[in-house]
Amino acid sequence: MTMAMILMYHRIFKSSRDPWELCVSPEHFSEHLEVIKKLAQPCSLKELSRFLMEDNLPSNAIAVTFDDGYTDNLTNAKPLLVKHEIPATVFISSGYINHKVGFWWDQLTDIIFHTKVLPNSLNVKISEELIFWKNEEQSILTKEAGIDQPTVQKNYDNFHVRMNLYMFLYEKLIALPIKDQATALKQILTWADYFCVAQPDHIPMSAADLLTLIDGNLIDIGAHTVSHPLLPSLPRETQYREIIDSKSSLEEITQRPVSFFAYPFGKFDQVTLDIVKQAGFMSACTTEQNIVNHDTMRYTLPRLAVKDWDGEQFSIMLQSWLSGKHPSLIAPKFDINTVIQFPLYEFQRKTGELRGNTIECIPGKNLQGHCLYGSDFTICHSGKYRIFVSLEQRNFTGAGRDVVIDVYENRYVCKVLAELEISKSNRYHLDFIAESGYRVEFRVYWREQSWLKVKEIQLIRLS
């Protein structure tokens, strides 16, 4: 089968705090482009969309895209794209053009991770919900209708506590209207006693930046709504305005047609699809991890998220994607009596080194609290499931807190379904109950300067 792919980047910048792992350093991005030219056929999103329309998709075609419209797309990414002669499409949230503070999630990152000492408790009203968080007890409580609903988070280290708080607040803010998000952020700023100064690396592009970006015709501009909302949470008229106004604003600035759209957070419903088609877009991109083939619909184009891999790691990932064998391409769907084994290809934050199909941690190269390996899957049937983990250990420094496997309901809901702590055995299992439709994630976290090798991860449905 002929396969192509669309790569999804966000930022070309080396960041010290990147909770979503969206930043790729300029050095690694340059190495990525070298690998793309060597292993694939780079093309523009416009060319790839036309290939699909004409049912003439070339094998190994790759289109490069960026979401949101950060300034580093111009200052860091464009010179490298020009150097390697690789086209790209940058999706812009038009309401943030000329914005002096930046996106709300970056403001939240600054508050939670840059405040030296956070207060012991948080008590704010987000929309109509009272939120109470207490650091001393390492727990998060949600108060609705006078009922406390605890979500306990263990205090493994300071980073872990802050990450839990960040994810908890992110979940609360993501579906809010932009005015309510701003109000909530002001409350959180006051709580943290943090003076929010826009970090230069967080600033979105200005209108003048956009004109410089498209100069030379190597880079196209795509629409990414006005305010980057969670579109399915909005009524039809509001979705319409977000999509149409974004397109018209960008066309007015650039004096060029805007033919491509990307769904914020990758989320859409049938109403969204209908509006995007009616708006006259040539194609639209999701965040679904998959390759493009002749059966791919132009308005639900999948993309592959790229992380801060060096050239060698990126080459391994690209070849596994091009082969169609990497487990991230399609989240496995588990039925009764199904067992799945996950080949361990993927790295996150350079916490290990590749040794065949295993991950091996090297002392001195591991970043405490960072994610070593992750995968996800979709549950077809409600029931009880079990994850098996097989590993080897050398010079293991501690028991109980070095590696943790967390199973989450989905990317945006930081509700821990189950949790497993690794001590000194070589094989572990974790049982949890999940409902049909859950997209569950599990992560192996590195905690200490141990020597550890993960051999195998399996999942089986028990009932």
Cα 265 from Cα 105, distance rounded (Å): 12
Cα 450 from Cα 453, distance rounded (Å): 10
Domain that holds residue 225: 5-98+201-305
- Which H or E run includes 91? strand 88-92
If asked whether residues 147 and 207 sit together in one domain, one would say no
Kindly give, in sequence order, each residue whose CB lies less than 8 Å from that of residue 317, ignoring residues fewer than 6 positions away: 309, 326, 345, 346
Cα 463 from Cα 441, distance rounded (Å): 20
**Residue 321: how many other CB atoms lie within 10 Å:** 22
| Mean pLDDT along residues 433-445 | 60
Residue 323 located in a structural domain: no
Q: What CATH number does the domain containing 206 carry? A: 3.20.20.370
Of 53 and 434, the one with more pLDDT: 53
If asked whether residues 90 and 208 sit together in one domain, one would say yes
Residue 14 located in a structural domain: yes
If asked whether residues 141 and 208 sit together in one domain, one would say no
Residue 114 located in a structural domain: yes
If asked whether residues 74 and 91 sit together in one domain, one would say yes
Q: Do 11 and 22 contact (CB within 8 A), yes or no?
A: yes
Residue 321 located in a structural domain: no
Q: Name the nearest CA neighbour of 286 among 227, 231, 220, 241.
A: 231
Kindly give, in sequence order, each residue whose CB lies less than 8 Å from that of residue 328, ignoring residues fewer than 6 positions away: 289, 304, 346, 375
Whether residue 332 is predicted with pLDDT greater than 60 in this model: the reply is: no
If asked whether residues 453 and 347 sit together in one domain, one would say yes
111's tokens: 């508050």
Cα 17 from Cα 449, distance rounded (Å): 20
Domain end (from 192, 215, 236): 192
Tally of structural domains, the chain = 3
Helix axes 26-39, 311-323, angle to 10 degrees: 40
Residue 392 located in a structural domain: yes
If asked whether residues 241 and 127 sit together in one domain, one would say no
Cα 377 from Cα 441, distance rounded (Å): 7
160's tokens: 């872990």
Residue 326 located in a structural domain: no
Of 370 and 217, the one with more pLDDT: 217
Most confident of 28-32, 172-176, 310-314: 28-32
Domain end (from 192, 225, 247): 192
Q: What CATH number does the domain containing 440 carry? A: 2.60.120.260
Residue 235 located in a structural domain: yes
Q: Do 389 and 427 contact (CB within 8 A), yes or no?
A: yes
If asked whether residues 59 and 78 sit together in one domain, one would say yes
Q: What is the pLDDT of residue 17?
A: 77
| Mean pLDDT along residues 339-346 | 37
| Mean pLDDT along residues 13-32 | 90
Residue 325 located in a structural domain: no
If asked whether residues 354 and 452 sit together in one domain, one would say yes
Q: What is the pLDDT of residue 167?
A: 80
Q: Do 426 and 391 contact (CB within 8 A), yes or no?
A: yes
Domain end (from 192, 213, 237): 192
If asked whether residues 64 and 211 sit together in one domain, one would say yes
| Mean pLDDT along residues 20-37 | 95
Range in 117-121, 195-199, 286-290, 448-452 with the lowest mean pLDDT = 448-452
**Residue 335: how many other CB atoms lie within 10 Å:** 9
The helix/strand/coil state of 11 is: strand
Q: Per DSSP, what are the bridge partners of residue 129? A: 126
If asked whether residues 91 and 223 sit together in one domain, one would say yes
If asked whether residues 80 and 207 sit together in one domain, one would say yes
* CA 109 distance to own-chain centroid: 14
Q: What angle do CA 442, 375, 21 make, to 5 degrees?
A: 95
Confidence label for 363 from pLDDT (cuts 50, 70 and 90): very low
pTM: 0.73
Cα 235 from Cα 239, distance rounded (Å): 6
| Mean pLDDT along residues 41-47 | 96
Range in 70-74, 218-222, 228-232 with the lowest mean pLDDT = 228-232
Q: What is the pLDDT of residue 448?
A: 42
If asked whether residues 345 and 431 sit together in one domain, one would say yes
315's tokens: 């080459």
Q: Name the nearest CA neighbour of 430 among 400, 406, 412, 447.
A: 406
| Mean pLDDT along residues 69-96 | 97
